[in-house]
Amino acid sequence: MSKSDKSKIIWIIVAVLVLLFTNGVVFHFFPGKFSIFAYVLFLFIPLAVAVVVIFTKFSLLFIKDIEEGKEESLLFQERQKEIVENMVEGLVVHDSQGKILIMNVAAENFLGIKKVELVGKMADKITNQPGLFKVLFNNFKEGEIFEHSFVDEKGQEFSYQIIKATLNEKRGEVLKIIRDVTRSKYLDKMKNEYITIMSHKFLTPLTNIKWSADFLLNNSEDAERSEGNIKNILDNADKLVKLTSYLLDITEIEEGLFGYNFEKLDMNALVESAVQGVIDASEQKRIEIIYHKPKGGNYAVSGDRVRLSVAISNYLDNAVKYTPENGKIEIFMEENGDDLRFSVSDTGIGVSPESARLLFSKFFRDKWAKSLHTEGSGLGLFIIKNIIEHHGGKSGYSGGGVNGKGSTFYFTLPLYKSKV
């Protein structure tokens, strides 16, 4: 009942009370002046009319409340339906005989069959997913999490968790919740692989450092070999520092502590500095590096000098690492609308087609990269992606490199409005 309706009823009651009070006063002070008929006319008829009016008003309000309640109930049911339909988990309700009563869109996708073909029918109609069907309608315990994995015709593995909950024990109605855990399983696998890889990566340099230190301790008079072992210790120490730096960066990224100090930067200067950083490694493999300097001026961006230097250097390090001897690396920087596009193309081993969408994922290394037995943490591209996104840009892989061979990796950054 609205405030307006309540106010109207109160005013009706007040009016009746005033009328009764007035009539009472009149009949009290002027007794015998009025007949019984007048008494009834002025007192009981208004009272009866008021009662009828109030009763009618209450009836109408009651009917209105019922209608509003129905509307609210329908709206609530509609919202519930929308929530169920838009859930990422698959929901299936069936009875004790296996007859499917309710399904949502996610369940359609998991089972690979439209609900209009299944709702109201027996569950044995699911023929294209016999494995998932068998697990879905297994009689496992209440609250138990049942896991199921299968490989589709394309060779891609999927993993699901299924949870059971009883809705109505008398009618035998059971809810099954289907949850896609493919990505979390994949990340767990990558994490375990990463821990194994990092353990080896730390162990190898530490072993080399220990061996070199032992040699120096016991053969200090052999100056030539001592110099080589000192260099070995420094090289392996550098590897450990780089690995530790990656791990610290990942921790800061995930905890939101990866700080940035923005300033106006000359991108050409950053690229030239990064090129100098890989010259020695490229010369050892006789790799030609060609930097196509931007025409018409050096482009400026707003960014963190250290973070952007890391992003550029990681692209160049990867290009040198995965390009065979006598290869070529080309660096481009060009204006693309309001953005600056930086890219590195090479004649390296390239990227396997199925890995392209996962390249910037944490811990991921392409199988072609692993086949070379080169060192890699699976973190470099993930760190680049986070750095560039914090600068308002995008990073990516765009296929073949120099003359259709190898790879091309790029990132974009918003340009400063003027050039330096």
Residues 408 and 267 in one domain: yes
Domain boundary pick from 152, 180, 208: 180
Residues 304 and 388 in one domain: yes
Residues 275 and 408 in one domain: yes
Return the pLDDT at 383.
87
Return the pLDDT at 395.
94
CA angle 225, 228, 232 (to 5 degrees): 135
Decide if 420 is inside a domain: no
Decide if 219 is inside a domain: yes
Return the pLDDT at 420.
45
pLDDT tens, the chain, 420 aa long: 555 656 666 666 666 666 666 666 555 555 655 555 555 556 666 666 666 666 676 677 667 777 777 777 777 667 777 777 778 788 888 887 778 888 888 888 777 777 777 777 776 655 555 555 666 666 667 767 777 777 766 777 778 888 888 888 778 788 888 888 888 887 777 776 666 666 666 666 777 777 777 767 676 666 566 667 677 777 767 767 766 776 677 666 666 667 788 999 999 999 999 999 999 889 999 999 999 988 767 789 999 998 899 899 999 999 998 898 999 999 999 888 889 999 999 998 888 887 788 888 877 777 767 666 566 667 788 889 989 998 999 999 987 767 667 899 999 999 986 544
Decide if 206 is inside a domain: yes
Decide if 419 is inside a domain: no
Domain boundary pick from 199, 229, 254: 254
Residues 292 and 164 in one domain: no
Q: With beta carbons less than 8 A apart as the criterion, state whether 151 and 157 touch.
A: yes
Return the pLDDT at 327.
92
- State the distance between the two ends of the chain, measured CA to CA, in whole angstroms: 70
Decide if 138 is inside a domain: yes
Decide if 399 is inside a domain: yes
Decide if 13 is inside a domain: yes
DSSP class of residue 397 equals E
Q: How many domains does the chain have?
A: 4
Residues 11 and 78 in one domain: yes
Residues 174 and 50 in one domain: no
Residues 154 and 224 in one domain: no
Return the pLDDT at 101.
84
Residues 232 and 329 in one domain: no
Which structural domain range is residue 245 located in?
Answer: 184-254
Return the pLDDT at 1.
55
Residues 125 and 233 in one domain: no
Decide if 114 is inside a domain: yes
This prediction's pTM: 0.50
Return the pLDDT at 320.
92
Residues 268 and 287 in one domain: yes
Distances (CA, A) of 419 to 9, 106, 286, 291, 322: 75, 51, 35, 19, 34
Residue in 150, 149, 147 with CA at minimum distance from that of residue 163: 147
- CATH code of the domain in which 204 resides: 1.10.287.130
Structure tokens at 356: 């392209």
Residues 294 and 171 in one domain: no
Residues 270 and 404 in one domain: yes
Domain boundary pick from 50, 68, 85: 85
